Amino acid sequence: MATFLGAHGYTPGPTQRPLLAGIMTGVVATVPAIAILYLFPSLRVEARILRLTEAMTVAAGCAAMAAAGAVYGRVFGRAANDRRGGWLFGMAFGFALWAAGATMTLPFASGGTVTAGKAAIGVFLAFIAWGAALGALYPHVHRRLHVSLESASKKAEVGPRAATAGRRPDERQVRLRQPSPEDRRRP
């Protein structure tokens, strides 16, 4: 899978920080989601089902969404930086989280108790809003976190050594250059 994604160019390059961008955007995107949860009585109901206070539910939600944002950055790779389609990828990811979390995991964790009525609508809308905000904001947040071209281009992996395509150094290689005093000091 990793090879396939690499060949098709989805793998983020050395200038990118998808996990950090995902964590940060995941947290920021909880703002509209929490607002929706408040507007509907969903937050109260969720807290009751989970036997937590509302504040603790929000805190747990933020932590979970930060992790989910990191997963989003990793899974979608370069596609997540698409400013035109980002909202859609995010919304799809939010929908998947809702399907997997709110409708599958939560009932099993709570002994089968789930939100219903307006509270269930609120949960659904909150996930969709979180996803759309995540996807729409991610490219903008990520762009600010990029390593500059100047410093990323100095990395050894993109230098002349790249011509060898990561082949292991030959143990029998002959040292063609005399070690400098600096080389000798290295462990």
Partner 1 sequence: MLRVVAFRKAIIAGAAGAWAWEAGLRLLALAGTPTFDIVRELGTMPFPNGPPGLWWPAGMAAHSMIGGAWALFYAYFFWARFRWPPPVQGLVFAIIPALLAAFVVYPQLQLMHLHQNAAQLDWRSYLLILTPEKWGGLLLGHALFGLTVGSLYDRPVGYPAGSDLARPKHLTRRAKRQRDRRREDDGRFIFATGIECSYPTTDRGKWRRDEMEGTRHYERWPEDFELSREVGVTHIRYGPPLHLIFRGPGRYDWSWCDEPIHELEEMGPNPIVDLCHFGVPTWLGDFQNPDIAAALREYASAFSERYPWVRFYTPINEMYVCSRMSALRGLWNEQLSDEGAFARAVINQANASIAMTDAILQRRPDAIFVHSESSEFHQACCPDPEIQQIATFENQRRFLPLDLIYANEVAPIMRDYLREHGICDSEYDAFMAREVPRRTVLGIDYYEWNERLIDSDGNAQALGELFGWYVIASQYWQRYGRTLMHTETNRIDASDAARWLWRQWHNVQLLREAGAPIIGFTWYSLTDQIDWARAIEEPLGIVDPVGLFDLNRDARTVGLAYKNLIDMHRDQPEYRDCKALRELVG
**Binding to partner 1 by residue 101, rule CB under 8 A?**
no
Indicate the residue among 167 and 175 with the shorter CB distance to partner 1: 167
DSSP H helical segments within 8-85, as ranges? 18-28, 30-39, 42-50, 54-76
Indicate the residue among 59 and 116 with the shorter CB distance to partner 1: 116
Indicate the residue among 108 and 184 with the shorter CB distance to partner 1: 108
- Burial of 88 by CB count in 10 Å (0-12 exposed, 13-18 middle, 19+ buried)? middle
Q: How far is CA 64 from CA 27, 61, 71, 119, in A?
A: 9, 5, 11, 20
Q: Which listed residue (21, 28, 89, 130) binds partner 1 by CB under 8 A?
A: 89
CA 139 – CA 141 distance, rounded (Å):
6
Using CB under 8 A, which residues numbered 57 to 86 contact partner 1?
78-79, 81-85
Residue listed under structure tokens 């698409």: 82
Binding site for partner 1 (CB under 8 A): 3, 6-16, 41, 45, 48-49, 78-79, 81-85, 88-89, 91-92, 99, 103, 107, 112-121, 124, 139, 146, 149-150, 152-155, 157-160, 162-165
